[in-house]
Chains A and B, each alone.
Chain A
């Protein structure tokens, strides 16, 4: 009996000591970027708190796979943090429509961002912006420069050169030509289809035409990338069907593969893991002299929980995030997440410089499926995952895939009907 009482007392104290809040405002940030935890704790938050005594900030990330579900539940019930890291487009728009995110147009520093940067976090008519744009990610290919030097390979600029390089690596046999798997599916669409695709559909031109209903997914521009992806299969190494995303990252950073179809977000991680020189090249164009297009995707923003108890402090923080100072800290602390602010930011990481340099050479666009087109059921983004995997594995022809995606889109999207 005594034991039981003791145990209960123990439980009681542990339960009692939970809800202690500071006297000043404490802001909690909801985020899916659990990888950046130490960065926020050691660099970003101290920089903010030094300037704004009286406001303390807690970065509380959730694993990316659970983020949307957990955040939505918490917002519904009213227990979510003060600041919400925003996914681009519809996921955040739905939160705004449901009254969970506050409009932010009255924050002065919002004028530091171009309309394009803000477009991912605006209502369809552009009248309200509800998240401060934080960063975009750029797609391309990261390669093992030591391996390229060893095999005497040049960085490819056209598609023919690209496949010639892959052939040469395959023939030599000491490296897996390209590190990517299809087990987790999303890489095939994100680092495959939407990486090389903009060169086919001419970036924004094609993307907007698709949204307007002037092009369809059965057009050559949208089908041909699948035909190119189908050629990737033979360069991906044994058992790529069951290769997961971390598998691919590890294969590349351990120096076993020569090329990695990438997003720039990999840079920071790869820098700490790889012990060889790395370089990057942009998606090869179809024939020499073509204009190049890159996917420069608005990926991450931050907004305010409309139900926060500390709206003033939260606005102060958001205004700081919109400032050039934050852009500089964030861009350099997280090479590969490129600030969207108009203020010029000097990036120190060479690989990040390479990626951001493409903005000057090529036309930028965002991932084709993200704006508007993934609003209905079936969801075009999810369907594109499956289609890209099928293309690489050769289980369906590009034409079949195009027809199937078009049928799904037509079923709910009026401009395409």
Chain B
């Protein structure tokens, strides 16, 4: 650092990503999002300010759907946080056990659902849970629990939870892999030191490893949040764009898609669709900011 010159290398490092990302993603997105401030009257686009948002939040026809989708989306997210991430962490903890045999086999097998497309996942689970095919009923019958079976995907009360669990099934590999990667990168010395202190097994996990992988858990939580509030495909594949029965599985993604692109006789409305997308963006942005400024900075302290 003899004298300050313009840091060209930073520009070189940043430029390719910045350019591709700006041109192919940010520009089209904002080109679309600005439509939220317009509406179309007689084939001409008219600027209406925030009126679309007012319609979305306060006109009962729209707001009912919006709040319903938002509430469903939160439930979808809560199930992922409560089921997917703990299972992922538990699996990773078992897999990272130093002397476990067949760990590679387990790890590969459990990750397989994550590589399947939504089309396959939706189709397979609909088959399995279908009262017609009888796979789930006959399996429950085999363990004497046939009376527990119900057409879960077809009932308002259970459809969303069932779909959330299917989604958990599909994506549990992601927290598992991330946590696994950070568990095995914990320095050996730390574990040895704690072993000398007599901390082993479960208590080593809770007292030593867990605090060390907290940053990874933070990343996973925020990725889950973002992923869930952008989710769309599974519900679309399994329940269609109307997210039946009676909109009980409607989440923001399906609501936005239906409005933006239209569906059957319903014509696409890019203006209201963009308003919904704008609302989704705001929700996710708030979540990410809470993470970045509230949680992540605190987690950093534990880093080694």
Contact = CB atoms under 8 A, between A and B. Distances in A.
Would A and B touch once assembled, by the CB under 8 A criterion? yes
A332 to B, nearest CB: 29
Contact of A98 (B43, B155, B236): B43
A152 B255 CA distance: 49
B129 interface: yes
Contacts of A182: 154, 244-245
B148 interface: no
A182 B245 CA distance: 8
B17 interface: no
Contacts of B245: 182-183, 185, 241, 389, 393
A377 B242 CA distance: 14
Q: What are the nearest 7 A-B pairs in CB distance?
A: A239-B131, A241-B154, A242-B154, A242-B151, A69-B261, A239-B151, A374-B265
A395 B61 CA distance: 21
A183 B153 contact: yes
13 contacts: A65-B240, A68-B264, A69-B261, A94-B267, A98-B43, A240-B154, A241-B151, A242-B130, A242-B131, A244-B130, A378-B61, A382-B242, A389-B244
B188 interface: no
B262 A69 contact: yes
Given A65-B240, A183-B239, A382-B265, 11 more contacts: A68-B264, A68-B268, A91-B262, A98-B43, A183-B153, A184-B240, A238-B151, A240-B154, A243-B132, A374-B266, A389-B245
B154 A72 contact: no
A240 B155 CA distance: 10
Given A184-B240, A382-B242, A389-B244, A251 B132 contact: yes
Nearest to A241: B154
A369 interface: yes
A90 interface: yes
B257 to A, nearest CB: 8
Given A251-B132, A382-B263, A382-B264, A244 B242 contact: no
B24 to A, nearest CB: 14
B217 interface: no
Contacts of A73: 261
Nearest to B40: A98
* Most A Cβ at <10 Å: residue of B151, B239, B247, B257: B151
B154 A183 contact: yes
Contacts of A250: 132
A232 interface: no
A366 interface: no
Contacts of B150: 239
Interface in B150-197: 150-155
A156 interface: no
A240 B151 CA distance: 8
Interface string B52-64: 0000000001100
Interface residues of B, number: 34
A386 B242 contact: yes
Given A69-B261, A241-B245, A389-B246, A247 B240 contact: no
A337 interface: no
A243 B265 CA distance: 23
Interface string A174-198: 0000000111111000000000000
Interface string A225-237: 0000000000001
A361 interface: no
B126 interface: yes
A370 interface: yes
B265 A183 contact: no
Contacts of A244: 126, 130
Contacts of B152: 242
B69 to A, nearest CB: 15
Given A94-B267, A374-B266, A72 B261 contact: yes
Contacts of B131: 238-240, 242-243
A139 to B, nearest CB: 17
B241 interface: yes
Given A241-B151, A242-B130, A242-B131, A69 B242 contact: no
Contacts of A186: 240, 264
Contacts of A97: 43
B266 A72 contact: no
Contact of A242 (B153, B247, B257, B266): B153
A390 interface: yes
Interface string B248-281: 0000000001000111111111000000000000
A136 B240 CA distance: 25
Contacts of B151: 238-243
A183 B122 CA distance: 13
A385 interface: yes
B240 A185 contact: yes
A242 B261 contact: no
A91 B266 CA distance: 8
Contacts of A34: none
A297 to B, nearest CB: 12
A39 B61 CA distance: 43
Contacts of A395: 246
Given A183-B239, A241-B154, A247 B43 contact: no
A241 to B, nearest CB: 3
Contact of B246 (A237, A379, A386): A386
Nearest to B257: A69
A377 B241 contact: no
Interface string B204-243: 0000000000000000000000000000000010011110
Interface string A33-52: 00000000000000000000
Nearest to A243: B132
Interface string A366-395: 000110001101111110011001100101
A89 interface: yes
